[in-house]
Structure 1
Amino acid sequence: MRLIAPPGVYAPQDDTTLLADAVRREPGVPGAKVLDIGTGTGALAVLAARCGAAGVEAVDVSARAVLAAWLNARLHGEPVRVRLGGLASVAQGRRFDVVLANPPYVPSRHPRPFERAGGGRAWNAGQDGREMLDRLCDRMPGLLRPRGVLLLVQSALSGVETTLERLAAQGLHADVTARRVIPFGPVLLRHSPWLVARGLIGPGEDKEELVVIRAVRTTECGSCAR
């Protein structure tokens, strides 16, 4: 898929491809109301529309990303609604059948880096890589309809079991449905000495595992009935 990816906007990479494969496999996408959080170029939002979603909304905190996603949706002739905002702007009583998320998940030495301007906020996510992941997990009951599905991609460096446990605590049934080991990209290569010092990787380690987590909001859980 040809996409416009201007400077400062996260261009589709291995994590995007892995999550895109999950979107294509997801039986709930056709006819669904879909939300793409942190849309970047809009690649996943456009794909969801192509896969038959009844309505797709894409949000991003970056004005450049919003413009890129809007242009890409028009380029491919897909009716994606794109707007500027973050979790707080969508978690206002509106619920979706499918939520897609490729959030910042790279551990970073900078506190709360995803709030800073520039392309770095697309991947830097605090010292444990969980600044945005934890927010997403905690907000899911308010974003998903009963039996709604979250498809999320992250690195094993940012705690897959923690994500599964956090989603379970919110009443979602979550599993890892895809895995892929890839070489470190430029960002992780730059972070490698700090990651070694933190004990997150071993000396000379130069690969990471990406995973897709699929979580379903159960209808039986009382904590989710809100």
Structure 2
Amino acid sequence: MVFPVSVRRPVPAEEQPADLRVCRLPGVYAPQADTGLLVEQVRREELRPGVRSLDLCTGTGIVAVAAALRGARATAVDISRAAIASSRLNALLHGCRIRALRGDLDGPVGRERFDLVTVNPPYVPSEDPRLPARGARRSWDAGSDGRLLLDRICARAPRLLTPSGVLLLVQSSLSGVAPTLDALGRAGLRARVVERRTEPFGPVMSARADWFAARGLVPPGTRTEQLVVIRASRS
């Protein structure tokens, strides 16, 4: 359903505030550097007013809001009820409109196609090989290699995009950038890294630093990760 709020004119990227205000309900992933990178890339994309955008694993919905402020007809999807409520609140806060749907990845949108698909999925490697069913870890844990959701997204991306559509995905180097590029290529998309940024480990990553090293994911003593934004399209 569409959250009924007033709709402002599309806001050019250069007129948007550097930091969007965020309302976050308890248990919802707090926007961090990865979210910021994705918002920055959305602002760089050439978006015509009225294009259809989809933000999967939306969390606070702030990436969907960034697209909506550019004039997109934005849809946001998350498996968390609190995340859906947060995304609606943030649309209200910024005076834009998004369609917020609860469900697993693209399940709620059926056979719809989009001009822009954005994703900041859970991608942190975990000792638990399964996805968490509940709790805060559901926002970041993604199996022993961090790819349980990344691989699903890569496989499903082509069916979500219009012929000229673009996928923007952010992830950590710890969950394998090359496997993502390869998977998108096998799915028929041309993919490349458009942004890289080295960030210090946060509390979750710091607590697992020794385990990451033992798994060979990082050299011993490493306390940083590289975040990347991948852009994929049919041509």
C-alpha separation in 1, matches of 2:130 and 2:78:
17
Q: Partner letter of residue 128 of structure 1?
A: D
**Who is 1:4 aligned against?**
23
Contact 1:29 1:48 in 2 (8 A): no
Q: Compute the displacement of 1:193 (Å).
A: 1.6
What is residue 110 of structure 1 aligned with on the other side?
128
TM-score, normalised by the number of residues in structure 2: 0.89
**1:47 equivalenced with 2:66 (yes/no):** yes
Residue type at the aligned position of 2:140 = W
Is the 1:29–1:52 Cα contact (8 Å) retained in structure 2?
Answer: yes
Query: Of residues 153, 161, 173 in structure 1, which corresponds to 2:190?
Result: 173
Query: What residue ranges of structure 2 are gaps of 5+ in the alignment?
Result: 1-19
Q: What is the root-mean-square deviation in Å for CA atoms of aligned residues?
A: 1.2
How many aligned residue pairs are there? 216
Gaps of 5+ in 1: 219-226
Give the deviation of 1:192 after TM superposition. Answer: 1.0
Paired with 2:123 and 2:116, the residues of 1 have a C-alpha distance of: 21
* Cα pair 1:103 1:132 within 8 Å, conserved: yes
Find the aligned partners of 2:156 and 2:41 in 1 and give their Cα distance: 21
Q: Could you tell me whether the CA contact under 8 Å between 1:23 and 1:29 is conserved in 2? A: no
Give the counterpart of 1:57 among 75, 96, 111.
Answer: 75
Spell out the pairing of 1:1-80 with structure 2 (5 A cutoff).
1-28=20-47, 30-53=49-72, 55-80=73-98
Aligned 8 A contact 2:24 2:86 in 1: yes
Spell out the pairing of 1:83-162 with structure 2 (5 A cutoff).
83-90=101-108, 92-113=110-131, 115-162=132-179
Q: Which amino acid aligns with 1:4?
A: C
Distance 2:36 2:141 in 1: 19
State the one-letter code of the partner of 1:17.
G
Report if aligned partners of 2:56, 2:106 keep a CA contact under 8 Å in 1: no
| Identity, % of aligned positions | 53
Contact 1:174 1:215 in 2 (8 A): yes
Is 2:192 the partner of 1:186?
no
